[in-house]
Amino acid sequence: TYTMLNGHMVFLYYLPLALVLSLMMFFGWAAIPGIIIGLLLTLAHGMMFEQSIGVLFHFLIPCVLCWGGYRIFVPQRQQVSHGNVRL
């Protein structure tokens, strides 16, 4: 959901950071290349190089810190199976 505020589009909820964190919880470091490519293709599309690097860091730094804290403080949850992958 979004609204217009002073001629700019403002999102009322922001899910990409939650999506990035959930990808890190399931796939770990293997999710980083896909996250970077996805952010560059969607959020940083049409930005200058410096701005796109800033967008990447604003997503990756909190995500990696939260994921690292989860892995440090809840070590027994790392071996939990997320279900059967076979259909």
Indicate whether 3 belongs to any domain: no
Cα 79 from Cα 2, distance rounded (Å): 39
Indicate whether 81 belongs to any domain: no
Q: Do 17 and 63 contact (CB within 8 A), yes or no?
A: yes
Indicate whether 26 belongs to any domain: yes
Indicate whether 24 belongs to any domain: yes
Number of domains in the chain: 1
The reply to whether the predicted model has a pTM over 0.75 is: no
Indicate whether 1 belongs to any domain: no
Q: What is the pLDDT of residue 81?
A: 66
Cα 25 from Cα 42, distance rounded (Å): 21
Q: What is the pLDDT of residue 46?
A: 86
pLDDT values of the chain reduced to their tens digit, one per residue, 87 residues? 678 889 888 877 777 888 888 888 888 888 999 999 988 888 888 889 999 999 899 889 999 999 899 888 887 766 666 676 565
Domain that includes residue 56, residue range: 14-76
